[in-house]
Amino acid sequence: MKKLFYFTTIVLLGMVVSACNPAKETQAIITPPVADKQADTLTGNRIDNYYWMKLSDEQKNAEQKDEQTQKVINYLTAENDYLKASLKHTEALQEKIYNEIIGRIKQTDESVPYKDNGYWYYTRYEQGQEYPIYCRKKETLEAAEEILLNVNDMAKGHSYYSITGLSVSEDNNFLAYAEDSVSRRRYTVYIKDLRTGKLVEEPVPNTEGQVTWANDNKTYFYTRKDSVTLRSRWIIRHKVGTSFKNDPIVSEEADETFYTGIYKTKSKKYLVIWAGSTLTNHYQILDANNPEGKFKEFTPRERGLEYSIDHYADKFYIVTNLDAQNFRLMETPVAKTAKANWKEKIAHRKDTLLQGIEIFKDYLVLSERANANTLMRIIDQKTDKKHYLDFGEQAYTTYPSVNLDFDTELLRYGYTSLATPSSTYDYNMRTRERKLLKQQEVVGGHNPADFVTERQWATADDGTRIPMSIVYKKGIEKNGTNPTLLYGYGSYGASMSPTFSSTRLSLLNRGFVYAIAHIRGGQEMGRQWYEDGKMFKKKNTFTDFIDCAEYLIEEKYTTPEKLFASGGSAGGLLMGAVVNMRPDLFKGVIAAVPFVDVVTTMLDESIPLTTGEFDEWGNPKNPESYMYMLEYSPYDQVKPQDYPNMLVTTGFHDSQVQYWEPAKWVAKLRELKTDNNKLLLRTNMETGHGGTTGRFKVYRETAQEYAFLIDLAGIKE
C-alpha cells in the first residue's frame, strides 16, 4: 500500500518519574510534527521540499478528498494539535485574557447616525450577539426603526460569515448587499425590496462585493472577478428583476496588473469606473441619469500618472502626483477633463503628503500627512483662509468621517490615539467649535491620562530618522526590564497610524510597552518614504525595523529577553526577513498570515494579487528582480541558526496569502533551526486572510496570541 503521509504527530512519549521524588507528577513530552520532504525543482534550480503542500481550490473544496489533499489536511491538523498541546499550560490565562477583552466591550451599542437622502442610518449591536444590525429611521431619530439587515439571523449555520457593500437605491426602496460565507472574498450580491422585506431576484455570484446604483432606481453596476486570479476585471450593468446571466459588460480591464471598480460621486451626478495599478490610475465617467450611455474617458491612461477625482458643480477636483511627488490639488471643467485642461488649485509641498479631500459648498477639507501624523486643513473657499485642527497629542490619528451633505458648515471627523478611544466629532468650520458626539466606551473604565504616549525616532545606518509611536502605562521606568511588543508593516504605501485598542490594554496593564515602527514602505513621512521601501529598496523596510528594535533596547525600554515583534501579511514578510537577519534581538515573534514565499508566489501569475504587485516587489522573470527578491525572501533564506519563539497563523481559505506559504515556512524552520524555542503554526480551517468573523469569536485567537507573549515574558497572570 502506498504511504499516504509521513510525519510525527504529537506523541506522549511516556512518563518521566523522578526517583528522588516518587510523588512528582507525570509529564508529557510533546514532539512537533515533522513534515514529509518531497523535492521539487522550481525556477532558478531552487529545491523546495514542501511544495507538495500547495492545493488548488478544487482540491480544497471537493467532497471527496484526494490523497494529496488529505495529506495536507492531516499535516495542518497535526500542527494545530501540537499548538494546542504546547499552549495547554496557558489555557487558564487565555480564558482570563479573553474575558478581559470582551468585558471591555459595550455589548449593547450603537454607531453615530448619519443622514442620507431623508433617512438616518446607523448600526447597532445587541447583548451577546456576534454580528451587527443595520438600521435606519425616516426623517427624524424619533421615527420608528426599520431593520435593513440583522446579520445575526443571516449568519446562523455558518462558521464564517461576512456582509459588505450595503447600498440603497436613490428612491430608498432597494437595498443591495453582498455575502461571503467562505472567506475567499468572492461575494454574492443580493437585492432586498425594503417595502416588502423580500429578496427580489436571483443572487449574483463572484463579485467584488460593491454595488453602485444609477439614478433610475432600477439599474446598478457591479464588479465581476476573474474566477482564477480573483482580480476585479469586469464592470457589469444589471437591471433589477432580470437574470444576471444576460448582464452586459460595460468595461473590461484587460491589463493583468490593474484592478477595476465603480462608484458614484458625492454629488450623485456621475458614475465613475476606476482602474488602478501600483503606479497608475485611470477613470471613465457617465451621467448617473443615463446608465445605458457610454462611459467617457476622463484623460488617457498614462503610466506613472496617479490621481483621484471628485465632482462639484461645474468642475472636477483632482488629487494627483502630476509633477508633484507628494501630490497636489487641481481642477478642471466638467466639459474638458483631459489632463491638458487641469489647473492647479493647491500646490505641491515637499514636506507634506496630500492624501485626499472632502468637498463642501463653501469649504475644502484636506487630509494630509507629515512627520508621521495625520493632519486636517480647512480652507474657506470664499476667503481662502486656512487653518489646521489642533489635537494636542504627539502621536494620533484623525480622518474625515461620513460627510454626505454639501451645503453645511459641519465637518464630521474621527480621532484616536494609542491612549484615546475612537471618538467622533462635529466641527463647525466657520466658528471652529467642536462637539464630541461619541467616544468608544471601555466597560470598566479607561483614563487616557493613566498612559504615556510618545513619538521617538530611531536612526538608520544611512542617517534616516525612523519615527515610532509608543504607549505604556504611567509609572513604568525605562530600566531595560519591560516586556515590549514592536509592531510593523512597511508595504504598499500603507501608513500604520497610531490608534486605540481596548484589546491591547491586556498587555499594557501587565506592564508591556507597545510600539509601532513607522518604517519605510509606508507613507508616514510622505511619498518618498514609500519609494524608499519598495522594489530594489525593499531591504530598507527590514533594516529600519531592526534599527527601531535596537533603539528600544539602547534607550532601556526593554532587553532582547523581553522584546517581541509582530506583523501580518506583508508585515509577516517583515517578520520573516527580520528573524533571518537578526534573530538575537527578539524573545518571541507573531507572524500573522505571512507573505514569506516571495519568489515562488510572484512567479505564479495564477495566484490572486501576483500580477498587480509587480510594481511593488518586482517581476522575478526579470533576472535582476529575481536575485534581489531571492536575497530577502524569508522562505528561501531560512538557514541553520537559532530562531526566536514563534507563533505563525494562517487561514485555509486565504486568497491573499495562501495557507501553504506559512505552512511550508514552518516546516522548513523546523528542519533547519538549531534551538529549542517554540515554533507553532495555527491554521484556521474555516477562514481566510481576515480571520474569524463575529464580534467576540475573533478574540479567542487574540487571547491565545497574547497568552503566548505574556507566558514568554514570564508573567503568570
Domains in the chain: boundaries: 68-102+451-712
Exposed/middle/buried for residue 23 (C-beta within 10 Å: 0-12, 13-18, 19+):
exposed
Q: Given 311, 348, 446, 689, which residue is catalytic?
A: 689
pLDDT for the residue numbered 690: 62
- 200 contacts 192 by C-beta, under 8 angstroms: yes
pLDDT for the residue numbered 22: 34
| Strand pairing category for 46-48 and 40-42 | antiparallel
The one-letter amino acid at 39: A
What is the SS3 assignment for 353-389? EEEEEEECCCEEEEEEEECCEEEEEEEECCCCCEEEC
- 99 contacts 703 by C-beta, under 8 angstroms: no
Rounded Cα gap, residues 480 and 634, in angstroms? 30
What is the SS3 assignment for 426-481? EEECCCCCEEEEEECCECCCCCHHHEEEEEEEEECCCCCEEEEEEEEECCCCCCCC
Cα distance from N-terminal residue to C-terminal residue, the chain? 50
Residues present in the chain in total: 717
Residue 689 annotated among the catalytic residues of the structure: yes
Rounded Cα gap, residues 205 and 188, in angstroms? 4
pLDDT for the residue numbered 688: 62
Rounded Cα gap, residues 464 and 29, in angstroms? 48
Residue 13 has pLDDT above 60, yes or no: no
What is the pLDDT of the chain when averaged over all its residues? 92
Largest alpha-carbon pair distance within the chain? Answer: 92
pLDDT band of residue 609 (cuts 50, 70, 90) is confident
pLDDT one-digit tens code per residue, 477-490? 999 999 999 999 99
Closest C-alpha among 490, 526, 460, 517 to residue 616: 490
- 485 contacts 566 by C-beta, under 8 angstroms: yes
Rounded Cα gap, residues 485 and 483, in angstroms? 7
Residue 282 annotated among the catalytic residues of the structure: no
pLDDT for the residue numbered 16: 29
pLDDT for the residue numbered 324: 98
pLDDT one-digit tens code per residue, 658-680? 999 999 999 999 999 999 999 99
* pLDDT > 90 in the chain, percent: 86
| Assigned C-alpha cell, 88 | 495547554
Average of per-residue pLDDT across 361-372: 95
Residue 366 has pLDDT above 80, yes or no: yes
pLDDT for the residue numbered 184: 73
* pLDDT > 70 in the chain, percent: 95
Rounded Cα gap, residues 566 and 516, in angstroms? 10
DSSP 529-572: HHHTTSGGGTHHHHHHHHHHHHHHHHTTS--TTTEEEEEETHHH
CATH of domain 68-102+451-712: 3.40.50.1820
pLDDT one-digit tens code per residue, 508-521? 999 999 999 999 99
pLDDT for the residue numbered 228: 84
pLDDT for the residue numbered 592: 96
pLDDT one-digit tens code per residue, 249-292? 999 999 999 999 999 999 999 999 999 999 999 999 999 999 99
Q: Given 232, 502, 569, 625, which residue is catalytic?
A: 569
Average of per-residue pLDDT across 360-386: 95
Q: Given 544, 597, 654, 711, which residue is catalytic?
A: 654
pLDDT one-digit tens code per residue, 378-431? 999 999 999 999 988 889 999 999 999 999 999 999 999 999 999 999 999 999
Average of per-residue pLDDT across 104-123: 94
pLDDT one-digit tens code per residue, 163-197? 999 999 999 999 999 999 887 778 999 999 999 99
pLDDT for the residue numbered 25: 37
| Assigned C-alpha cell, 253 | 480591464
pLDDT one-digit tens code per residue, 463-510? 999 999 999 999 999 999 999 999 999 999 999 999 999 999 999 999
Closest C-alpha among 702, 655, 709, 711 to residue 682: 702
Closest C-alpha among 533, 566, 548, 660 to residue 607: 660
Closest C-alpha among 541, 503, 550 to residue 521: 541
pLDDT band of residue 608 (cuts 50, 70, 90) is confident
Residue 654 annotated among the catalytic residues of the structure: yes
pLDDT band of residue 19 (cuts 50, 70, 90) is very low
- Determine which of 225-229, 239-243, 469-473, 613-617 has the lowest per-residue pLDDT on average: 225-229
What is the SS3 assignment for 34-97? CCCCCCEEEHHHEEECCHHHCCCHHHHHCCCCCHHHHHHHHHHHHHHHHHHHHCHHHHHHHHHH
pLDDT band of residue 693 (cuts 50, 70, 90) is low
